[in-house]
A and B are shown apart, each in its own frame.
Chain A
Amino acid sequence: MRSDVAFIIPVYNEETVVRGVVENVLREYEHVVCVNDCSRDDSAAEIAATGAYLINHPINMGQGAALQTGIEFARRIPGVDYFVTYDADGQHRLEDVRTMLDTIRESGDDVILGSRFLGAEAIGMSGVKRVVLRLATWFSNVVSGVKLTDTHNGLRVFNRKVAQEMQITMPDMAHASEILEIIAKHKYRYREVPVTIVYTDYSRGKGQSIVNAINIAFDTLLRKVSR
């Protein structure tokens, strides 16, 4: 049971799976912060039934906003040195988190990012999604200046310094690119670790539509221009 790690799990309409995912994490880690992004289903009650912290957004704000809320809460839990962003739909594996936590402690890096394209294979990923993710990665590498093999992976581990300075302003999925820009701006030491994403029918149904990639790209570029 580790108490020096806080999991941050954004939750939006995940009533069927969130409880199992949270209970799984709580078996090994003491602190789990669930940010319920104004779900319309019973996600909040499912989380409340576990031992996790439950934070309720009064309005739906998007995954990036939920992450920021979770980070701001988690950095006030005493004794937490490492912060993990984790998906509520069960697509991440705890053994990958364990590897990443070992890596961040041994390497002394600030941020460890999960990568689907670094050795390990993505289970059940469709061919179209693979192409879109490659394109998104290329786009992000050009825009953010942080060179990675997988830029839109929700599994990240970072230390307290990063958590204190993190300020995500993009509320929706564009936050993934924004986090990389933050890494570049603050010159954090980062490293990618191969992780396996489990694509089930559930996570595929919940996942990002490919059309949304265009929205993300547009918002990211506009933010660059208007800054």
Chain B
Amino acid sequence: MMLIQVAIIILGLVLVYLILASRGSHGAKASMKVGLVLLVIAMIITVLNPDLMTRLATIVGIGRGADLLLYAVTGAFLFYALTQYLKSQSQRDVIFRLARRVALLEAATRYASSIESEDWGRYATPRPLQPGRELQDPAAADRSAAESGRAEQEPGSAQA
């Protein structure tokens, strides 16, 4: 057995241990763990059978196994970058909604006499602040608030 094979197998086993030991919370994490473990298994298989990637590459019409790997890594990276971009945008959305609520609450205390005070009740009601696209749809946010039993009559719908 070559030195690189030993090194990669040990690295793979350490990775599997770290992935399984990490205290990820819920279902979304679980599917990611399964995917990462499968990736490590594939890594060990290919390092033990160096010809495997090349055979796979010729099947799909690429010359060398290394090229196939390069294409796969490039694709994975682009996917990762886009997912992270969208994720950071949805997190920014949550932060901005929080900041807006802070600004409006602070302004409401200063201008309490000149604005309609009863409407500010909706800001005192804790509405779920979760990352995700459903936040951009106020109707969906109201629905989830209703499910958690904390919803109040919306000023907009009351007047409509």
A residues within 8 Å of B by Cβ? Answer: 35, 53-59, 61, 65, 68-69, 72-73, 76-78, 164-165, 167, 169, 171, 222, 226-227
Contacts and interface: CB of A to CB of B under 8 A. Distances in A.
Contacts of A55: 103-104, 106-107
A167 B93 CA distance: 12
Interface string B61-105: 000000000000000000000000110000011011001101110
B99 A171 contact: no
Interface stretch (B2-10, B16-24, B37-45, B114-122): B114-122
Contacts of B136: 167, 169
Main secondary structure of the interface of B (DSSP, over half): helix
Nearest to B135: A169
A76 B100 contact: no
22 contacts: A35-B103, A54-B107, A55-B103, A56-B106, A57-B99, A57-B100, A57-B103, A58-B102, A58-B103, A61-B100, A65-B96, A73-B107, A76-B116, A76-B119, A76-B120, A77-B114, A78-B115, A78-B116, A165-B156, A171-B96, A226-B86, A226-B133
Contact of A77 (B85, B93, B115): B115
B156 A164 contact: yes
Contacts of B119: 76
A23 B23 CA distance: 58
B99 A72 contact: no
